[in-house]
Amino acid sequence: MDVPTYSATNAPVPEGTIVIERASTAQDLGPKLARTTADVVRFLLTNGEMVTATQSLSDEMIKLFAAEIGAEIRLVDPGEEQEVELRKVLEFDDEDDDDIVATWPIRPPVITVMGHVDHGKTLLLDRIRSANVIEGEAGGITQHIGAYQVEKNGASLTFIDTPGHAAFTAMRARGADATDIVVLVVAADDGVMPQTLEALDHARAAEVPIIVAINKMDREGADPDKVMSQLAERGLIPEQWGGETMYVPLSAMTGDGIEDLLENLALIAEVEDLRATPEGRAAGSVLEAHLDIGRGPVATVLVERGTLRVGDPLVSGAAWGRVRALINDKGENVPEAGPSAPVQVLGLSEVAESGDGFIIAPSEKIASKVAETREHWHRLASLGRDASAAGGGAKLEDIFRQIQSGETATLNLIVKADVNGSLEAVIDSLKKLERDDVKLSFVLRGVGGISENDVQLAATSNATILGFNVRPDRKARELAEREKVEIRNYEIIYKLLEDIENAMLGLLSPDIEEVVTGDAEVREVFRVPRVGSIAGCMVLNGTVSRNSKVRFLREGTIIWKGELQSLRRFKDDVAEVASGFECGIGLSDFQDLKPGDIIETYEEREIPVT
Ligand code: GDP
């Protein structure tokens, strides 16, 4: 008869289902099940498994031990537990309770300006911003961070500052979700246009009040009545006609009517009675995110509730970090930001996704774990897509043949771009090109330079790589050549769309191939009086010649394009410098080079369509 050797083994196990992470160690597992690390190690040893206290255990070992002591467990993937915990934090029950909400302070409304291209959104936003600078304190607003706040009659108004471009519809639509009021801009001399209606649909979907700004009233041919009747047909009946929609005639050019608009916005906000608690952990959404040279990933967020503070552990999608600094729309460092305040957040691990929510986690550990898990799932999901894409799908050059054969063709694409905003714009615009007989499959989409991994993935999934404002590094380029992966680089979105559309029509234009002739790494930057900056470089590949075109790359992203000003070896001007040699490269108007940057020279050659 066995005598129990360890008294702990008989201790009652915790009640209910205990969540255990896969790959836990004996050290993690023991305490969760009211056992010591030694209990776990010894038990496994008696079952023929030799493990140390800090070694990851297999699912089988964990289940075996749990069964032995009669504990009920649920195995989860690492981070899943934290995700559950975080989700609990995310559920703000108080928001459903009107009595509680009524005790909260009033918060500024979040306003999005929408409308047809060229109807004056940008100018209107600029005008409102600068009108406020004159009215407001000294210092003025200097930063474009994607949103800004202005004061009107003692109340604050928050404006989302999204660009008015057709390709950015998707982001705008997302902006409307964080939005309380939509300003629909219609040019008085142009009337309702397709994007006016598109914007109207977005605003309706978000179920927010709409106020119409009839812009360009200074123009001859301005016809506000026509705008009102066009929109009344679509349900926006003007107040003066017995309806509920406010119409404000104005001119973003002269500034007339802007004050009216602001006053009416303040009025709508008052009626809406928007409230939020500044207490507790902050939550909100990401308006814009990009990789800033020098500052790392930067995200502009809009706080929806709570107060965001420097030092808080923030998580948004797969990005996380302890907030290193908060910068407001005036470019000032601020210690905290409350409801409806837009701020730039520094200190995140990677570029967040615009439109994603963010939350302050209970601890840094939970924040990182959650982000890590999401990243993991994200990757799994994209691998899954990859596998399915590899089965069918075609490259750009084959797509027309596939269409002609009568079957539904799928074009496999990997899209890399410099910032999230442009990535989304590219993806969304591409999606619009889909036809019944041609589908697009995005094997991978991401921010940053084109890497060897991207090329590898393209090779295995039969995809074409589209780069928008990014470049492949040398290794990626070499691999692409070996694997016959096509990389197409663009800097203009319409050019990209045109090419893809033409490919679908079998009209793929000859690509202007940029043949890289050489690259050099910047080792040190010298400032020479009256001459400017000289970069001390080492040529790494090929030859760098004086008359070729160049671009400067930092981590695969193009930071500048132009021509070389001068090329020197020691004190002599030279025509070219070969790989393995040092040289001095004169930079004309571009001054912001740093050690580690790559200067790439290239020639343009036309490659005929095969
Ligand atoms: P967006 O595409 O909607 O952002 O339009 P912009 O703000 O870029 O304006 C398009 C053009 O219309 C620009 O040339 C502006 O200067 C002009 N514009 C905008 N508002 C007015 C206005 O109230 N009056 C006049 N005359 N021109 C305007």
pLDDT of residue 192: 94
- Which protein residue's CA is at the shortest distance from atom 20 of ligand 1? 120
Contact 141, 329 (CB under 8 A): yes
Q: What count of other Cβ atoms lies within 10 Å of the Cβ of residue 588?
A: 13
- Residue 552 near residue 525 (C-beta atoms within 8 A): no
E-assigned strand segments in 448-556: 464-468, 487-490, 511-528, 532-545, 549-554
* Fold entry, domain 514-606: Elongation Factor Tu (Ef-tu); domain 3 (2.40.30)
Distance 245 CA to ligand 1 centre (A): 23
Q: What is the pLDDT of residues 348-362, one digit of tens each?
A: 988 887 777 888 988
Neighbours of 333 (CB within 10 A): 12
Tokens 């030092």 found at:
311
Nearest-10 crossing angle of helices 364-391, 452-461: 40
The segment(s) of the chain belonging to CATH 2.40.30.10 are 514-606
Say if residues 423 and 445 touch (Cβ distance below 8 Å). Answer: yes
Compute the C-alpha angle 520/522/523, nearest 5°. 125
Which neighbouring-strand residues pair with 412? 441
Determine the longest span between alpha carbons in the chain, in angstroms.
104
Q: What is the pLDDT of residue 500?
A: 84
Copy the structure tokens of residue 424: 């989304």
In the Cβ-directed half-sphere of 55, how many Cα atoms lie within 13 Å?
11
Structure tokens given for 191: 């009337």
Q: What is the pLDDT of residue 86?
A: 66
Q: What share of the chain is helix, strand, coil (3-state, %, to 5)?
A: 30, 35, 35
For CATH 3.40.50.300, the residue range(s) in the chain are 110-272
Cα–Cα distance for residue pair 601/542, rounded to 1 Å: 9
| Per-residue pLDDT reduced to its tens digit, 55-77 | 888 888 898 899 888 888 888 76
**pLDDT means over runs of 10, the chain (610 residues):** 46 83 85 89 83 82 88 76 64 75 92 88 88 49 74 88 45 56 94 85 79 96 95 94 95 95 95 91 86 84 93 89 92 93 92 82 82 66 38 61 67 86 86 81 84 80 87 85 86 85 67 78 83 85 85 82 81 87 79 84 68
DSSP-derived pairing of the beta strands 336-337 and 313-316: unpaired
Q: Which atom of ligand 1 is nearest to the CA of 254?
A: 23
pLDDT value, residue 107:
95
Cα distance from N-terminal residue to C-terminal residue, the chain? 82
**Using H for helix, E for strand and C for coil, what is the string for 357-368?**
EEEECCCHHHHH
pLDDT of residue 264: 95
Closest residue to atom 14 of ligand 1, CA basis: 118
Ligand 1 atom with least separation from CA of 252:
23
CB atoms within 10 A of CB 233: 10
Question: Which residues, including other chains, have CB under 8 Å from residue 387's CB and lie 6 or more apart?
Answer: none
DSSP annotation of 15 reads S
DSSP annotation string for 10-33: GSPPPSSEEEEETT-BHHHHHHHT
Distance CA 441, CA 278 (A): 43
Q: Would you state the CATH architecture of domain 110-272?
A: 3-Layer(aba) Sandwich (3.40)
For ligand 1, residues with CB inside 6 Å are 115, 117-123, 164, 215-216, 218-219, 251-253
- Specify the DSSP class assigned to residue 8: G
Report the atom number in ligand 1 closest to the C-alpha of 217. 23
Using an 8 Å Cβ cutoff, are 16 and 31 in contact?
no
Task: Determine which residue's CA is closest to atom 22 belonging to ligand 1.
Answer: 216
Interatomic CA distance for residues 182 and 225, integer angstroms: 21
Which helix (DSSP H) or strand (DSSP E) does residue 305 occupy?
Answer: strand 296-305
How many helices (H) and strands (E) would you count in the chain?
16, 31
Specify the residue with its C-alpha closest to ligand 1, atom 6. Answer: 120
**Atom 11 of ligand 1 has which residue's CA nearest to it?**
118
Q: Which atom of ligand 1 is nearest to the CA of 123?
A: 7
Helices 59-69, 37-46: crossing angle, 10 deg rounding? 100
CATH class of 390-508: alpha beta
Q: Are 373 and 348 spatial neighbours (Cβ–Cβ below 8 Å)?
A: no
CA torsion 383-463-411-492 (nearest 10°) is 110
| Per-residue confidence (pLDDT) for residue 339, from 0 to 100 | 94
Beta strands in 424-531, from DSSP E residues, in sequence order: 438-447, 464-468, 487-490, 511-528
Ligand 1 mutation target, pool 118, 126, 144, 250, most atoms within 8 A of CB? 118
Give which of 340, 433, 329, 439 is closest to 389, Cα–Cα: 439
Q: Say how many Å lie between the CA of residue 211 and the centre of ligand 1.
A: 18
- How far is it, in rounded angstroms, from Cα 150 to Cα 136? 8
Spatial separation of the C-alpha atoms in residues 71 and 74, rounded to whole Å:
10
CA distance 397 to 515: 20
pLDDT of res. 335: 96
DSSP state at residue 104: S
Task: Residue 286: count other Cβ atoms within 10 Å of its Cβ.
Answer: 26
- Could you tell me where in the chain the CATH 3.40.50.10050 domains are found? 390-508
pLDDT of residue 532: 74
The model's pTM: 0.56
Q: Give which of 433, 373, 438 is closest to 407, Cα–Cα.
A: 438
